[in-house]
Amino acid sequence: MVNLIGTYECKVDAKGRLMVPSALKKQLAPMLQEGFVIKRSVFQDCLELYPMSEWNVLMGKMNKLNRFKKKNNDFIRKFTAGVKTVDVDTNGRLLIPKDLTAFAGIEKEIVISSAINIVEIWDKNKYENALEAASDDFADLAEEVMGNDDLDGIS
């Protein structure tokens, strides 16, 4: 299981390439050969970057869905819309496809944020707005999500 750490501010060039921060690149080093999958986020106007091994685990779960149920087919179609494979080039850059750049509203300044086993790629202003919007009820959310007594040793 991958456990990525860190939030990084970067810039995207005119071609949609971002230089992967060295601290993140070190964490991703074991996965660079396999490549990555980049996709639209389900809940936010950002992108999600999956190491191929993590993507394959997720696809294994989705492959168990019964495709004779319309809602499952609709979900798969929507979830995989715009999915692309990407690689980090020899210069440490990652090319964000134009359609995904447009979806996330990425212009020049971005935030790359670890989200346990994936990386979120945000337009900097949208990231700041999302954090601010969630800050008001974060204590309640933390209690609801993590305050369950059934979680082994999490405090």
Rounded alpha-carbon distances, angstroms, from residue 85 to 11, 39, 44, 88, 97: 21, 9, 20, 11, 10
pLDDT tens for 48-94 read: 999 999 999 999 999 999 999 999 999 999 999 999 999 999 999 99
Superfamily of domain 7-124 in CATH is Transcriptional regulator MraZ domain (3.40.1550.20)
116: Cα within 13 Å, side-chain hemisphere: 2
pTM of structure: 0.88
> Could you please report the per-residue DSSP string of 48-114?
EEEEHHHHHHHHHHHTTS-TTSHHHHHHHHHHTTT-EEE-B-TTSEEEPPHHHHHHHT--SEEEEEE
Spatial CA neighbour of 27 closest among 124, 131, 115, 128: 115
Rounded alpha-carbon distances, angstroms, from residue 129 to 11, 50, 134, 135: 18, 24, 9, 10
**Sequence ranges of the domains in the chain:** 7-124
How many residues would you count in the chain?
155
* pLDDT number for residue 119: 97
Q: Distance between CA 142 and CA 137 in Å, rounded? A: 9
pLDDT tens for 98-115 read: 999 999 999 999 999 999
Q: Distance between CA 32 and CA 9 in Å, rounded? A: 21
